Structure 1
Amino acid sequence: MMEIPDVIKGILILGFVFVPIEKALAAHHQKLLREGWFTDLCYYFSGYFIGHGTTKLLIVFVLMSQGSIPILSRFVGQQPLVLQVTAAIFIGDLCFYCVHRLLHTVPWLWRFHAIHHSSTNIDWLATVRVHPFEQILTKSCQMIPLYWLGFSTEALAIYAVFSSAIAFFIHTNIGIKFPILKWIIATPEFHHWHHDRYPQLKTQNLAVQLPIIDYIFGTWYMPDQNLPKQYGTELNIKTNYFKHLIYPFTPFLPKEETHGSSRSHIDP
Structure 2
Amino acid sequence: MLKSVVRYGYVPFMLLGVDGAAIALAASGASKLWLIGLLLAAIGCSFAAERALPDEAEWNSPAGDGGRDVAHAGVNELLLLISVGVIPVPAATVTVADVWPHSWPFVLQVLVAVSIADLGITLTHYASHRIGLLWRFHAVHHSIKRFYGFNGLMKHPLHQTLEMGAGVAPLILIGLPADVAAALAVAVAVQLLLQHSNADYRVGALRYVLALNEGHRFHHLKWAGVGDVNFGLFTLVWDHLLGTFSYDPARRFTSEQLGMAAEPDYPTAYLAQLAEPFRASGACRAEPAGHEPAARERAVR
Of the three residues 257, 264, 268, the one matched with 2:290 is 264
Paired letter, 1:164: A
Which residue of structure 2 aligns with residue 32 of structure 1?
61
Q: 1:27 to 1:187 in 2, by over 3 A?
A: same
Q: Does 1:155 align with 2:180?
A: yes
Which residue of structure 2 aligns with residue 228 of structure 1?
253
* 1:190 to partner: Cα distance: 1.4
* 1:194 to partner: Cα distance: 1.1
Q: Does 1:251 align with 2:276?
A: no
Between 11-20 and 131-140, report the one with greater CA deviation: 11-20
Q: Does 1:180 align with 2:205?
A: yes
Q: For 1:238 and 1:13, how far apart are their aligned partners in 2?
A: 30
**Partner deviation per Cα, 1:70-108 (whole Å, 9 max, x = no partner):** 3x23xx223333332222211110011111111111011
Q: For 1:16 and 1:83, how far apart are their aligned partners in 2?
A: 27
Q: 1:235 to 1:135 in 2, by over 3 A?
A: farther
Q: For 2:209 and 2:169, how far apart are their aligned partners in 1?
A: 25
5+ long unaligned stretches in structure 2 = 1-32, 292-301
Secondary structure, aligned partner of 1:180: helix
**Partner deviation per Cα, 1:108-153 (whole Å, 9 max, x = no partner):** 1101001001000010121121111111111111112112222444
Which residue of structure 2 aligns with residue 22 of structure 1?
50
Paired letter, 2:47: V
Give every structure 1 segment of 4 or more consecutive aligned residues whose post-TM-superposition deviation is greater than 6 Å: 5-8
- Could you tell me whether the CA contact under 8 Å between 1:205 and 1:220 is conserved in 2? yes
Q: How does 1:61-76 map to 2 (within 5 A)?
A: 61-65=90-94, 67-70=95-98, 72-73=99-100, 76=101
Q: For 1:143 and 1:225, how far apart are their aligned partners in 2?
A: 37
Q: 1:244 to 1:59 in 2, by over 3 A?
A: farther
Paired letter, 2:50: E
Q: For 1:200 and 1:106, how far apart are their aligned partners in 2?
A: 13
Q: 1:8 to 1:162 in 2, by over 3 A?
A: closer
- Could you tell me whether the CA contact under 8 Å between 2:196 and 2:216 is conserved in 1? yes
Q: Does 1:86 align with 2:111?
A: yes
- Could you tell me whether the CA contact under 8 Å between 2:120 and 2:167 is conserved in 1? yes
* 1:69 to partner: Cα distance: 1.2
Paired letter, 1:174: A
Of the three residues 92, 105, 126, the one matched with 2:151 is 126
- Could you tell me whether the CA contact under 8 Å between 1:39 and 1:241 is conserved in 2? yes
Could you say what the CA RMSD is over the residues aligned between the two structures, in angstroms?
2.8
**Partner deviation per Cα, 1:28-76 (whole Å, 9 max, x = no partner):** 12143333111111112221222233344454233222x2513x23xx2
Q: 1:10 to 1:119 in 2, by over 3 A?
A: farther
Which residue of structure 1 aligns with residue 76 of structure 2?
47
Of the three residues 221, 228, 240, the one matched with 1:215 is 240
Q: Does 1:114 align with 2:139?
A: yes
Secondary structure, aligned partner of 2:57: coil
5+ long unaligned stretches in structure 1 = none
Superposition TM-score, scaled by structure 2 size = 0.74
Q: For 1:7 and 1:243, how far apart are their aligned partners in 2?
A: 30
Superposition TM-score, scaled by structure 1 size = 0.82
Q: For 1:151 and 1:11, how far apart are their aligned partners in 2?
A: 21
Q: For 1:15 and 1:86, how far apart are their aligned partners in 2?
A: 22
Which residue of structure 1 aligns with residue 124 of structure 2?
99
Q: For 2:222 and 2:152, how far apart are their aligned partners in 1?
A: 17
Secondary structure, aligned partner of 1:206: coil
The alignment of Structure 1 onto Structure 2 pairs a total of residues equal to: 252
Paired letter, 2:41: I
Which residue of structure 2 aligns with residue 240 of structure 1?
269
Q: For 2:34 and 2:144, how far apart are their aligned partners in 1?
A: 26
Tell me the percent identity: 23
* 1:181 to partner: Cα distance: 2.5
